[in-house]
Amino acid sequence: MVHIKRLQEDGADIIAIIGEIDASSSIELDLAIAKSVGEGFRKILVDCSALEYISSAGLGVFMSYIEEFKDKNVTMVLFGMKEKVMNTFTILGLADLLHIRSDRHEAKQLANELSV
């Protein structure tokens, strides 16, 4: 079960993921990101502070956007991850591929730097 909230702040779209992301709920995450991109946001921040668990399918969603973001010059920064969730990212070798920061402030800063 997952609940996804979106809110806009200083021109950035903040997607908050609350709950667990498994194979079925990863579709919701995919939709949320696709919507954000479709609405033309260039800075997307993903709030993972309430993310309890993410399965490989959920990670696949993030990965699937990497190239599209590169083409469209969109910056995505994940932040606030719990250690366990972070571990999943690290094991799969995604920590180096994605921009991950510890809190919102840092994430915003990074997004601003990168999108210049």
Partner 1 sequence: MRTKALIRLTFLSAVICWLVLVFSDVTVLFSRDKGLDPGVPLWLPRVMLDLYIVCLFYYYKFRIERDEGLNFTDLLWKVFATGLISTVLSLSIRLILGILGSTTLSSNILFQDVLYQINFALFLSFLLAAFSSWKRLILYQKSKWLIRLWTIFEVALLVILLSNILQIPMTDEMNVILMVLFGILTIILSANMKWVAYLNFRQKWTSILILLLTLFYIGYFFWSVVWNLPAELNNRAGMFLSYKDHFFNLCLYFFVITYSVFSFLVILFNLPTSSVFEQKLEEVVNFRISQSIQTEQNEESVYKILLESSVSSVFADAAWLEIRGSNNEARFFTYQISEEESRNIAFHLKSNNVKGVLDQNTDKTKNLSKHLAGLKGTRFRSLLSFPILVKGDIIGTLALLKELPEGFNKEMTRIVSAFANQAGISIENFRLMEEAFQNERYKEELKIAKTVQKSLLPDKLEKDPTFEMAAFSQSADEVGGDYYDTIRIDDHQVALIIADVSGKGTTAAFHMSQMKGIFHSLAQQDLDPKEFMQRANRALVYCLERGSFISATYFAIDTQSKKIRYARAGHCPVLFYRANTQQAEYLKDRGTALGMIKTKDYCNYIDTNVISYAPGDIMVLYTDGITEAKDQKGEEYGDDRLKDTLLRVTSKDPKEIAEFLISQLYEYSGTHMINDDYTTMIVKFT
Q: Is 31 in the site for partner 1 (CB under 8 A)?
A: no
Q: Compute the C-alpha angle 106/4/74, nearest 5°.
A: 50
Residue among 30 and 106 whose Cβ is closer to partner 1: 30
Q: Is 64 in the site for partner 1 (CB under 8 A)?
A: yes
C-alpha 108/C-alpha 39 separation (Å) is 19
Q: Is 34 in the site for partner 1 (CB under 8 A)?
A: no
Candidate segments 9-17, 41-49, 90-98, 103-111, binder of partner 1 by CB under 8 A: 90-98
Q: Is 21 in the site for partner 1 (CB under 8 A)?
A: no
Residue among 60 and 104 whose Cβ is closer to partner 1: 60
Residue among 40 and 93 whose Cβ is closer to partner 1: 93
Sheet holding 99-101, edge to edge: 2-9, 12-21, 43-54, 75-79, 99-101
Give alpha helix (H) positions in 9-81: 26-38, 56-72
With contact defined as beta carbons under 8 Å apart, do 28 and 2 qualify? Answer: yes
**Binding positions for partner 1, rule: CB under 8 A:** 23, 26, 30, 56-57, 59-61, 63-64, 66-67, 84, 90-94, 96-97
